[in-house]
Amino acid sequence: MTLTFSEDVYKIDKAGGNSKGEGLSKDENLMNLALSEARKAIKEGEVPVGAILVKDKRVLARDHNRTIHLNDPSAHAEILLLRKAGEKLKNCRLPGATLYVTLEPCLMCAGAMIQARIAHLVYGAPDPKAGAVASVYHVFADKKLNHTVRVTGGVLENECRALLQSFFKDRR
């Protein structure tokens, strides 16, 4: 299975492939887009977390951490792209959307995903210090909440982790 991208639309091609994404799953190909956003964050001196939001075979939004650049502690990649997608669709709810992010979301981002009614979260590396999905907290497992988010973790985990480790190693 191969994905091709054109004007923010992705198309699944089960028959053939291309040299860029051959042998990768749909989730891996889409996580590679999130990784490209994370690399943009590095160039801006930001923690390299990137995210994309997909719905109905369309990439609705993509972004990366910009807390330092925007002087905004809430400017995590997930929050920025939820804002963009909400504006694009003229709706604060994004049912049926899948959010791809290179690092397990924090409490703030997990809460925003619940409020936005995200259907599926796909993340790369776990966050053993602040992860709110599987590492430290298990927000989406709370039965008291009125929405659940399906979760797939560990997609391109090694690549996502290596990018973060390299960034922090260079900072020390």
Residues marked active site are found at 78
From CA 26, how far away is CA 44, in angstroms rounded?
28
Question: What pairing do the DSSP bridges indicate for beta strands 50-55 and 58-64?
Answer: antiparallel
C-alpha angle 141-143-147 in degrees, rounded to nearest 5: 80
Give the Å distances, CA to CA, from 83 to 12, 15, 96, 116, 159: 27, 36, 16, 10, 27
